Amino acid sequence: METTERFGAVFQVEAWVGSDLGQVRNKNEDNYLVDALNGLFIVADGMGGGVQGEKASRRSIETFSAALYNKRTLLRALEFPHDEELRQQVAELLDQAIRAANQEILRIRKSIGPKVTMGTTLSALLLLGNTGVLAHVGDSRIYRVRYRELSQITNDHSLVAEQVREGYITPEQAELSPFRNVLVQAVGKGDKIDPQIEFFDLEMGDQFLLCSDGLSNYLTESEIITVLGEPEGHRIVPRLIDCANARGGSDNITAIAIRLSTSEHYQPTTEVDIGRGFTNAPLLRGLKTMESTRLLQLGKTHDYIAGERIVSEDSIDRSLFLIFDGQVGLYRGGHWLSTLETGQHFGLFSLIDGQGRLVSATAESQVRLLEISRNEFVDLLRREPNLGVKIVWNLLKDLSFSYRQTVARLLKALSSPEDDSGTMD
């Protein structure tokens, strides 16, 4: 699901959300709310097994958000310059909203039976004018990325996080602890609840990620920064979920990615560096620096983390990819075919014939790619036919090289049918 709405007069807020069962569970107990119009975003990770957990996360979001929507005017007032008294009132409102959710889950628990375990995390982010507010209980997380630096702005209400804060164990020990899933606070756990409520200023370009632990347990902070840097916002959440699933997906996975900008479209700073490693790029052979730059400026840069799938075989998209940095493995049917290095490209056949991709491509290290779409490519050929001829000539040389390689392999395979191993690009 994708939401792009305007609210207030300050930032354009874009948000994308996804929730996935994962690879092991048979029920998704996570829930979320994305309301870009009112600037409210929530992730809740239910526990209690199956139906109970799902109900806990859903009901707590409903109860919490209803309490806020009833006081919309108060929240709207936050869009105006700072007023301590107003902030105090909003903090109280959020506190009460979480308490209301807590009472609601306790009430449901009581109505089902005395031995029912049922609860949920709840991490809410409010974006109002220049102000951000978080209200949080549990171990779901809210991260903020500002100037490519990531900070976790929620505190984990888990036993191990408390032990780390008090200096009893190290963060490394916490990761291995058998108690890492034990929460000291959750909505519906008991009468006592002490939510984290915090105000902060927003800046243009801020990005936020709200997620359940099914995601944060699988990605390092630097990997999260890499994926949030994806210029095409709608790709962020699917990429995060794919990574968590590829690494085990032992829990439900939910993520909301949010981007603040002032223009209609997010403008990534495409760094076009045709320095090192690029002088021998087959696609740029014989091109003057200015010509190379014109070609490269057509594309969008994407960063991938090690192990991430870049394209899947048989998928229909018509982009050409150039490797700016790192190694990319090509696979067919799970078999490794070859590894490409900085300066090389892939996706030529799809660019030309628009058929399903011949191979899958996976990042074998941290990888930076330039993606050139077919439309942009064809446009350039029309606009600058002289440059176009040079580029097409390079691509033809590449094709003829691939064709000769394939024929040579075919002949070899025919003469020795035992050995059918080989590589193709």
Binding site for Ca ion (CB under 5 A): 45, 212-214, 251
Tell me the C-alpha distance between 404 and 410, whole Å: 10
Give how far Cα 227 sits from Cα of 232, 238, 313, 366, Å: 10, 10, 21, 11
Q: Which is nearer to Ca ion, 13 or 142 (CB)?
A: 142
329 phi and psi angles, rounded to 5 deg: -95, 135
Q: Is the CB of residue 137 less than 8 Å from the CB of residue 195?
A: yes
Q: Which is nearer to Ca ion, 213 or 303 (CB)?
A: 213
Instruction: Locate 113 and state its tokens.
Output: 């039976």
74 contacts: CB under 8 Å, gap ≥ 6? 86, 89, 90, 93
Q: Rounded to the nearest whole angstrom, what is the least distance from the CB of residue 159 to Ca ion in the complex?
A: 15
Tell me the C-alpha distance between 222 and 240, whole Å: 13
Q: Rounded to the nearest whole angstrom, what is the least distance from the CB of residue 53 to Ca ion in the complex?
A: 9
Q: Rounded to the nearest whole angstrom, what is the least distance from the CB of residue 156 to Ca ion in the complex?
A: 12
Q: Rounded to the nearest whole angstrom, what is the least distance from the CB of residue 236 to Ca ion in the complex?
A: 20
Start-to-end CA distance of the chain, whole Å, equals 35
12-39 residues labelled b (16+ CB within 10 A) or e (exposed): bbbbbbbbbbbeebeebbbbbbbbbebb
Q: Rounded to the nearest whole angstrom, what is the least distance from the CB of residue 259 to Ca ion in the complex?
A: 25
Tell me the C-alpha distance between 234 and 2, whole Å: 7
Q: Rounded to the nearest whole angstrom, what is the least distance from the CB of residue 54 to Ca ion in the complex?
A: 12
Q: Rounded to the nearest whole angstrom, what is the least distance from the CB of residue 161 to Ca ion in the complex?
A: 15
Tell me the C-alpha distance between 8 and 202, whole Å: 13
* Runs of H (alpha helix) within 247-345: 289-296
Q: Which is nearer to Ca ion, 21 or 352 (CB)?
A: 21
Q: Which is nearer to Ca ion, 42 or 328 (CB)?
A: 42
Q: Rounded to the nearest whole angstrom, what is the least distance from the CB of residue 360 to Ca ion in the complex?
A: 29
Q: Rounded to the nearest whole angstrom, what is the least distance from the CB of residue 45 to Ca ion in the complex?
A: 4
3-state class (DSSP) for residue 257: strand
CA triple 336-337-341, angle to 5 deg: 100
Q: Which is nearer to Ca ion, 81 or 178 (CB)?
A: 178
Q: Which is nearer to Ca ion, 131 or 254 (CB)?
A: 254
Q: Which is nearer to Ca ion, 157 or 302 (CB)?
A: 157
Q: Is the CB of residue 45 less than 8 Å from the CB of residue 140?
A: yes
3-state class (DSSP) for residue 391: helix
3-state class (DSSP) for residue 418: coil
Tell me the C-alpha distance between 160 and 176, whole Å: 10
Q: Which is nearer to Ca ion, 120 or 319 (CB)?
A: 120
Q: Rounded to the nearest whole angstrom, what is the least distance from the CB of residue 213 to Ca ion in the complex?
A: 5
Q: Which is nearer to Ca ion, 218 or 278 (CB)?
A: 218
* Runs of H (alpha helix) within 8-158: 51-69, 72-77, 84-112
Q: Which is nearer to Ca ion, 45 or 325 (CB)?
A: 45
Give how far Cα 78 sits from Cα of 13, 131, 133, 219, 401, Å: 17, 7, 10, 34, 63
Q: Which is nearer to Ca ion, 17 or 311 (CB)?
A: 17
Q: Rounded to the nearest whole angstrom, what is the least distance from the CB of residue 320 to Ca ion in the complex?
A: 39
